[in-house]
């Protein structure tokens, strides 16, 4: 164990030292260059740094790879070149040999695999950064899936995170105050620790299962407690098709799926005050009756009543186009810096006209929105270039970080589903209803 920790540390420390050298060389080389050359050089450095971080983390299982994946989802925290390189880590990780998986199961469940299961598929059907999932059958005949955490992942978690943070800091990637860095990395650390604790995930599955029990067409697997521990999670097998298969179905089925994904996220936020914050397409499966199966309840964020009411107010002001109230909401959300610098109303109006289109909210967009042909993400990139001069007045917010990740993830799920739908009645339902 100490040997593998030492190896990990050396690998990460080597990456950090190499990045430090590149950053120093870059700033010295362009000391007397003009602004444009300096910006170009910085962009090239960031690209280089991003690739190096992604390659180093990609070779290493566990928390450090998960950090890279989480980082890739917070695109507003990292320069685009770094975020793009880190996105490669979202792809499936290569599986761990079955002998190590079997040893982990037997260590955790204190019995041979042959006694615990009447059948156990040695090849996983899914492998991720911190564990992999195998299909199996219990002695009772019940078909299950078994999520097995890789050995020692949890022990390396904090040191991995420290090294990645140091590398990003030295590269000049973390362009934010120390306090904000602390908040963001606390959020990332918390979400990592939560995902590594399968007892907590089992609890989440029960809570969300009870919350969605009456929602026809939202299916959440049930926990098999006898075969679950902190590092092993056994669930009832609930299978469906991937998002790319669902994208080939008729639009009326896609509409049912889209409505359920919307209710899945908005219902949890506004009624349960806790939310499934990992809308990666691999965490959902779909059936031809429009049912949605949700997996992976490790990344859950809870919100206070005052936070949820603030989110609701912000959404109501956005829909009304009340930019004065909206700016105050952004300050309360820690997104807009609380200073005297004036930002014209048109700046907010332009962003609203882009961001509210997918919700079919008049006057921004009326009638069904065609997600498959959405240009919103392209418009955002174009507008970001135009809006650069005001970006210094905004900062990533620890309060909204997981929410941003969830909303943008669900937007991409609907884009890839290719659904044509008017979501405004659903928006109306949630924003006009009184709190529970």
d(CA 196, CA 352): 38
Encode 86-109: b = buried (16+ Cβ within 10 Å), e = exposed: bbbbeeebebbebeebbebbeebb
Handedness of CA 283, 402, 318, 372 (dihedral sign): negative
pLDDT at position 325 is 96
d(CA 232, CA 406): 26
pLDDT at position 211 is 97
Q: How far is CA 340 from the centre of its chain?
A: 33
Q: What angle do CA 222, 227, 231 make, to 5 degrees?
A: 95
Looking up tokens 């994946």 gives: 69
Helices then strands, counting H and E runs in the chain, come out as 17, 12
Contact call for residues 139 and 118 (beta carbons, < 8 A): yes
Q: What angle do CA 142, 143, 145 make, to 5 degrees?
A: 130
Contact call for residues 244 and 250 (beta carbons, < 8 A): no
Contact call for residues 378 and 415 (beta carbons, < 8 A): no
d(CA 131, CA 151): 9
- β-bridge pairing 292-294 and 218-219: parallel
Tens-digit pLDDT profile for the chain (436 aa)? 444 667 777 777 788 788 778 777 776 666 666 677 777 777 787 778 777 777 776 666 666 666 666 665 555 566 666 766 666 665 556 788 999 999 999 999 999 999 999 999 999 988 777 889 999 999 999 999 999 998 888 777 777 777 777 777 776 666 667 777 787 788 778 878 888 899 999 999 999 999 999 999 999 999 999 999 999 999 999 999 999 999 999 999 999 999 999 999 999 999 999 999 989 888 999 999 999 999 989 889 999 999 999 999 999 999 999 999 999 999 999 999 888 888 999 999 999 999 999 999 877 778 899 999 999 988 988 888 888 888 888 887 888 988 988 999 999 999 999 999 999 999 999 998 644 4
DSSP result, 320-345: HT-HHHHHHHHHHTT-B--SS----H
pLDDT at position 13 is 76
Contact call for residues 39 and 99 (beta carbons, < 8 A): no
């Amino acid at each position: 164990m100490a040997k593998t920790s030492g190896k990990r540390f050396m690998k990460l420390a080597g990456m950090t030292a190499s990045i430090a050298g590149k950053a120093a060389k870059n700033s010295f080389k362009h000391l007397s260059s003009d602004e444009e050359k300096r910006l170009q050089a910085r962009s090239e450095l960031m690209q280089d740094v991003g690739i190096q971080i992604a390659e180093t983390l990609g070779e290493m299982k566990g928390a450090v790879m998960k950090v890279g994946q989480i980082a890739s989802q917070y695109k507003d925290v990292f320069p685009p070149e770094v975020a793009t390189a880190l996105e490669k880590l979202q792809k499936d990780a290569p599986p761990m040999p079955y002998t190590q998986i079997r040893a982990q199961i037997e260590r955790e469940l204190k019995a041979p695999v042959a006694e615990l299961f009447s059948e156990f598929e040695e090849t996983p059907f899914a492998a991720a950064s911190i564990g992999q999932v195998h299909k199996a059958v219990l002695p009772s005949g019940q078909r299950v899936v078994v999520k097995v955490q890789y050995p020692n992942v949890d022990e390396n978690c904090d040191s991995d995170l420290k090294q990645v943070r140091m590398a990003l800091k030295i590269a000049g990637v973390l362009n934010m105050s120390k306090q904000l860095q602390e908040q963001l990395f606390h959020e990332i650390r918390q979400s990592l620790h939560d995902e590594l604790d399968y007892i907590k995930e089992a609890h989440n599955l029960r809570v969300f299962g009870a919350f969605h029990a009456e929602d026809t067409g939202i299916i959440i697997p049930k926990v098999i407690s006898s075969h679950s521990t902190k590092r092993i999670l056994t669930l009832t097998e609930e299978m469906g098709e991937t998002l790319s298969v669902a994208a080939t179905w008729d639009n009326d089925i896609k509409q049912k799926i889209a409505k359920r994904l919307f209710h899945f996220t908005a219902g949890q936020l506004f009624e349960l005050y806790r939310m499934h914050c990992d809308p990666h397409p691999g965490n959902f499966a779909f059936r031809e009756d429009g049912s949605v199966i949700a997996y992976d309840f490790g990344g859950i964020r809870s919100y206070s009543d005052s936070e949820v009411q603030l989110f609701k107010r912000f959404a109501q002001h956005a829909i009304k186009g009340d930019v004065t109230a909206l700016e105050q909401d952004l300050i309360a959300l820690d997104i807009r810096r609380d200073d005297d610098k004036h930002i014209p109303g048109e700046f907010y109006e332009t962003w609203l006209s882009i961001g509210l289109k997918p919700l079919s909210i008049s006057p921004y967009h009326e009638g069904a929105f065609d997600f498959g042909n959405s240009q919103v993400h392209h418009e955002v990139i174009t507008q970001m270039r135009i809006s650069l001069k005001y970006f210094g007045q905004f900062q990533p917010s620890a309060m909204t970080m997981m929410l941003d990740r969830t909303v943008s993830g669900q937007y991409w799920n609907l884009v890839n589903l290719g659904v044509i739908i008017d979501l405004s009645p659903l928006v109306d339902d949630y924003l006009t209803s009184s709190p529970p």
